[in-house]
Structure 1
Amino acid sequence: MAGTRFQFFSTFSRQFSSLGNAHSAQSSKLSIGDIRQKRLDIFNQELKRQQSLISRLEKIEVNYQGFNDETVTLIMNKGVSTPYNCAQHISELLTKKSVVAEINGEVWDMHRPIPSDCTLKLLHMKPEDPQQAALVNKTFWRSCSFLLGAVVENSFQDDVSVTLHSFPPANVRSGSFVHDVHLNLDSWAPSQNDFRQIAASFQKFVRNGFIFQRLDIDSSLALKMFEDNIFKTEQIPHIATKSNSGRSVTVYRIGDHIDISRGPMIASSSLVGRCSIAAIHKLDSGFYRFQGVALPSDIYVNHFAFGILESRARNMNPARTPELNAKA
């Protein structure tokens, strides 16, 4: 994706490069592509290390509970097999439609290994149960925010400082998914062409069908992974204290992008269908709130109806705005 950065941002990068500060000077040492590659290397090394801790395969019993009282008992590999692997043993349709899983009632990523005997449910985008529908909708919205960050981070020229801050908890009723980003473009007013270009890049990215890959890592490793992002290094100790161990941070990888989130995420980016970048609101202290709206790939509406969704998504999302504690 590094080769697809939008050239129309180069004007802004030249205009505002003189506004660079200590933060942009720090970030300019490495390009976004270099930073992403460094994070990928750390991620892959840690994944390989954790996988090597499984000295021998143990079997577990997974009791799948499907629709119309369908039940299937599967013998899978402890700490290796995932809900997606279980779906592969049941039907091809389940592998395509399943968005997220439930393991013993806990929402679970489709590509996250199963640790013990369990009861498994696989949820799609149109569950009849209201509680399941709420879980699926939040998972979809959260994943779209993550994807938006992946696209925005790679959309500007290297001399524009782009630092992802965070995205608020998924709230479908707000009308938009969000990612808050710090830029050294204090007076940037994006054009309609900018919106179309970012949306086109978003669509191109999701059509790659990347899976969301989850990894729990020690906070010290997380600090090393995100040492180029002053906001993440500030957030990581606080995030770690809320984990069961008091030292763990959950990161997700999709394509060449890695970020922090408690998850869960949808199984694959291919589950995202029609989308639009509806608004970019300038906040305080160099922050911009990127807002989008999207539909699942198997849900279709006409142009008029989607226009209503876009109009609603343009309103400033009421989620809490980021605070600039670290000096950018």
Structure 2
Amino acid sequence: MNSLRKQLNCITSKSYIKTITYRCLATVTEEITRQNDIFVAEQQRQKEEVGRIEKIEVQYEGVPANETLVMNKFLSTPYDCAKHLGDKIRDKSVVALLNGETLWHMHRPLPDSCRLELLHYNIPNPAAVNKTFWRSCSFLLGAVISDAFKDNVNVQLHSFPSPNVKSGSFVYDVQLSLDDWKPTESELKVLSIEMIKFCQKEFHLECLDVSKDIALEIFQNNPHKTQQIPDIAEHNGDKVTLYKAGTHIDISKGPMVPNTRHLGRITVANAIKLDTDIPGGPIYRFQGVALPAAITLNHFAYSILEERARILNSARIPGSQGVDNEDNSFISRIAQ
């Protein structure tokens, strides 16, 4: 512990990242409070709007045995189903598969009777699970970055691309009021530690489908999100899907992992200034690599992943002439 503290104390006053001593992700600003108040109020309104509770039948298919569960329409979630099946199944489930074709976030209410499978990291074909994990990593990286910099640095989250595990890194593109910042190893180490600490708080990743107007109200102080929202809503029935972990709220099509405890080893590997014409300041591509807590890897093998994650990710670079965001449909076909 003392050696780690000494390493962190080596960050000089020229660093733009808050040191461990002076930063705290639990700090709640007026803007964060405003966003969360809107989210929670809309979440409560939608629950009250359900009205008379109707029952649905969920045909669970999987270990230890197939089972029929009677659940509540528009209220019960795959996570609730998993709790009926035991703690082990609940804790290892990453994402649900409805009727053999539709990926579904574990905390999203079920709209009707269905067949339910619960996917985890050790299934024979984990591609959909891996993409769910990778997407969640980008989202959580944004949570850490949004509170990582000192007060004299303006931070605006821009977007993160659809997950591509083969690229070697998960990504978040962020606008910073820094002309030519090159992160030091110490700064990247602080970001990595803070992302680990954030995930160790075991936040549920909540999701909520909201109207375009509510989304615009929540993100009214982020010019990039407000530009992206109308296009997202246009292609999604005038709805925008939001995800929330702790007090952090962002836009994503999902699905994501149900809880931050699913992330184990994490490294924020690099932040690279992009060549883009977006007004307001430089865009930096933050890149990282992580492993699920359920997966172990030796130090040498993981170091290879870290080296690869430092190379500029080839995902499309955002520009001023296009709206760059993850497609915001609430569901994701397993074929993707």
| Aligned match for 2:219, one of 201, 226, 246 | 226
Residue 139 of structure 1, CA deviation: 0.4
Q: Alpha-carbon deviations, 1:246-277, whole Å to 9, x = none?
A: x1100000111000000010111100000101
Q: What is the TM-score of this pair, normalised by structure 2?
A: 0.85
| Aligned match for 1:256, one of 226, 247, 250 | 247
Does residue 1:111 correspond to 2:107, yes or no?
yes
Amino acid at match of 2:105: D
C-alpha separation between the residues in 2 aligned to 1:121 and 1:161? Answer: 43
SS at match of 2:116: strand
SS at match of 2:256: coil
The answer for the alignment partner of 2:274 in structure 1 is: 283
The answer for the alignment partner of 1:271 in structure 2 is: 262
Q: Alpha-carbon deviations, 1:194-225, whole Å to 9, x = none?
A: 01000000000001111110100000111111
Return closer, same or farther for 1:184/1:325 CA change in 2, 3 Å cut-off: farther
The answer for the alignment partner of 1:168 in structure 2 is: 161
Residue 319 of structure 1, CA deviation: 0.3
SS at match of 2:75: coil
SS at match of 1:11: coil
Amino acid at match of 2:82: A
The answer for the alignment partner of 1:200 in structure 2 is: 193
Give structure 1 stretches of 5+ with no counterpart.
1-5, 15-30
SS at match of 2:79: helix
The size of the alignment, in residue pairs, is 299
Return closer, same or farther for 1:9/1:233 CA change in 2, 3 Å cut-off: farther
The answer as to whether partners of 1:183 and 1:286 remain within 8 angstroms in 2 is yes
C-alpha separation between the residues in 2 aligned to 1:269 and 1:110? Answer: 13
Does residue 1:321 correspond to 2:317, yes or no?
yes
What RMSD over aligned residues (CA atoms) do the two structures have, in Å?
1.9
Amino acid at match of 1:234: Q
SS at match of 2:45: helix
| Aligned match for 1:81, one of 67, 76, 79 | 76
C-alpha separation between the residues in 2 aligned to 1:73 and 1:161? Answer: 52
The answer for the alignment partner of 1:95 in structure 2 is: 90
Residue 158 of structure 1, CA deviation: 2.3
Amino acid at match of 1:227: Q
C-alpha separation between the residues in 2 aligned to 1:208 and 1:189? Answer: 29
Amino acid at match of 2:80: N
The answer for the alignment partner of 1:17 in structure 2 is: none
C-alpha separation between the residues in 1 aligned to 2:260 and 2:96? Answer: 16
C-alpha separation between the residues in 2 aligned to 1:278 and 1:47? Answer: 35
C-alpha separation between the residues in 1 aligned to 2:313 and 2:246? Answer: 27
User: Pairwise mapping of residues 33-112 of structure 1 onto structure 2 (< 5 A)?
Assistant: 33-67=29-63, 70-104=65-99, 105-112=101-108
Residue 299 of structure 1, CA deviation: 0.6
Return closer, same or farther for 1:39/1:9 CA change in 2, 3 Å cut-off: farther
Return closer, same or farther for 1:253/1:298 CA change in 2, 3 Å cut-off: same
Which one has the bigger helix percentage?
1
SS at match of 2:203: coil
| Aligned match for 2:171, one of 167, 178, 186 | 178
Return closer, same or farther for 1:210/1:298 CA change in 2, 3 Å cut-off: same
Residue 290 of structure 1, CA deviation: 0.4
Give structure 2 stretches of 5+ with no counterpart.
1-7, 18-26, 276-280, 323-336
Residue 141 of structure 1, CA deviation: 0.2
User: Pairwise mapping of residues 103-182 of structure 1 onto structure 2 (< 5 A)?
Assistant: 103-104=98-99, 105-128=101-124, 130=125, 133-182=126-175
The answer as to whether partners of 1:212 and 1:265 remain within 8 angstroms in 2 is yes
The answer for the alignment partner of 1:238 in structure 2 is: 231
C-alpha separation between the residues in 2 aligned to 1:260 and 1:162? Answer: 17
C-alpha separation between the residues in 2 aligned to 1:71 and 1:194? Answer: 49
The answer for the alignment partner of 2:14 in structure 1 is: 11
Amino acid at match of 1:212: L
Return closer, same or farther for 1:313/1:95 CA change in 2, 3 Å cut-off: same
SS at match of 2:14: helix
Residue 10 of structure 1, CA deviation: 6.4
C-alpha separation between the residues in 2 aligned to 1:167 and 1:34? Answer: 25
The answer as to whether partners of 2:15 and 2:187 remain within 8 angstroms in 1 is no
The answer as to whether partners of 1:32 and 1:153 remain within 8 angstroms in 2 is no
Q: Alpha-carbon deviations, 1:261-300, whole Å to 9, x = none?
A: 0001011110000010111111135010000000000111
